[in-house]
Structures are given as structure tokens and as C-alpha cells.
Amino acid sequence: MHKDETAVRHRKRARFAQASRRRIAPWPAVLIGLLFLGVVGILFAAGVRAPASNTQGEGTSTENGLVAATYGHEPYPEVVAQGGVVRLPLSEFEDGRARFYAFVGGGQPIEFFVLKSTDGVVRAALNACDVCFEARRGYHQEGPVMVCNNCGRRFPSTRINVVQGGCNPAPLRSTIDGSSLVIDVQDLVAGQRYF
């Protein structure tokens, strides 16, 4: 071999060696991508969500700072306890329409609804259930049924506080005292885990 051929060959080898050093191996990028997807998947599976105070719908705080505990509505009227109980006039429920309220316990709103069912009984329940509560969507009324805003299941008003568990509205104990529906604050605070 001539010196010229040897020099050309050395230059080609040097260029090839430099090019392979500059090339980034694809496995680190793939590994980083898989790691990112794994973290996102774990967070999704764990149900991580943004704090409620920052994620409610538009205009969801009142002048006194009350924030809706579930999505898609303004905060419900706040009820205040006196003597360890909340009292609501039974006359409010004569039309059979569900009325939604919020009680603040431990600095957190706890939502519930009250309605007079088609059998004439005034019933109360939390605005959440054992299955869908993490979605924070609550219920709405369609005639004589309450409908889960998350899964769409329908519950006859006559079954509120009779059937519990699953997607049924979480029961809220109440009593009648004269012309008032009475709910103990301890029963409301026990429902705090749903919100």
C-alpha cells in the first residue's frame, strides 16, 4: 500500500469513529420515556387530583369563601349548626324537589341534599356515594329519581336512606322534631371523607 492510500484509510476511520461517538444511543431516551409514562400511570391509578379549592367550576366561591365540594355548580347554601344540630323547616320540601346544602366541618364543605320522596317521607343523604365520590360530581334530580352525575345510575327517591353502599347516595341520619328536619353535626362530619 502506498502512503497516500494508508492516509486516506486512516482519515476515513477517524471520521467513522467521530460520527459514532456523536450519535446518541436510543436506549436512554426510551428509558426516560418509559419512566415518565410509569410515573403518570401510577399517579392516575392512585387517584391524584388537584386540590378542591383550586379546581371547582367557574365562580364557585361565595363572599364568605365557601367553595363547592363537588364540581359543576356554585356553592350550595351554607347551613349553620346551633346546639350541635342543623335544623331545616319541613315546609321547604313539600314540593318534592331536592334541596342541596353545604355544612362546613373542619374547614371543609360537606354537601348533602334533602327531599320529600314520592311516599311522603322527608329524606337526607350526602351528595356523594361509596363508588363515585372521588370524581366529586354528586347527584341531580330528575323527577322522582336522583341521578349520579358521574356514572348516570338512577335511584328512586323512595330508596334514599333505605339502600346504602355502591353508588347509592350515602345515607345521612335525620329526625323530625315538630316542623323541622334535624341533622346531628356528628353525622355530617362523619361524611367528611367523601369530600
| Residues sharing a CB contact under 8 Å with residue 140, sequence separation 6 or more, in sequence order | 98, 146, 147, 149
The reply to whether 61 and 129 lie within a common domain is yes
Please give the angle made by the CA atoms of 147, 152 and 154, to the nearest 5 degrees. 45
The SS3 of residue 102 is strand
Alpha-carbon distance of 147 to 168, in angstroms, equals 9
Residue 151 has a pLDDT of 93
The reply to whether 87 and 36 lie within a common domain is no
The reply to whether 84 and 134 lie within a common domain is yes
Q: What is the DSSP letter of 43?
A: H
The reply to whether 40 and 115 lie within a common domain is no
Please give the angle made by the CA atoms of 111, 87 and 134, to the nearest 5 degrees. 10
The reply to whether 21 and 79 lie within a common domain is no
Residue that finishes a domain, picked among 31, 46, 61: 46
Query: Residue 182 corresponds to which amino acid?
Result: V
Per-residue confidence in pLDDT tens, the chain, 195 aa: 566 777 777 777 777 666 555 556 677 777 676 666 666 556 555 443 333 333 333 334 455 567 888 888 889 999 999 999 999 999 999 999 999 999 998 888 999 999 999 999 999 999 999 999 999 999 999 999 999 999 999 999 999 999 988 889 999 999 999 999 999 999 999 999 999
| Residues sharing a CB contact under 8 Å with residue 158, sequence separation 6 or more, in sequence order | 117, 118, 119, 121, 144
Alpha-carbon distance of 147 to 61, in angstroms, equals 25
The reply to whether 59 and 94 lie within a common domain is yes
The reply to whether 119 and 34 lie within a common domain is no
The reply to whether 142 and 93 lie within a common domain is yes
The number of folded domains in the chain is 2
Contact criterion met (CB below 8 Å) for 112 and 191: yes
Contact criterion met (CB below 8 Å) for 59 and 74: yes
**CA count, 13 A, side-chain hemisphere, 61:** 8
Residue 59 has a pLDDT of 38
Contact criterion met (CB below 8 Å) for 122 and 181: yes
Grid coordinates belonging to 195: 369530600
Instruction: Look up the CATH number of the domain holding residue 168.
Output: 2.102.10.10
pTM tops 0.85: no
Contact criterion met (CB below 8 Å) for 188 and 84: no
The reply to whether 70 and 143 lie within a common domain is yes
The reply to whether 161 and 145 lie within a common domain is yes
> Taking Cα atoms as reference points, which of 188, 174, 194 lies closest to residue 81?
188
Domain carrying residue 188? 52-194
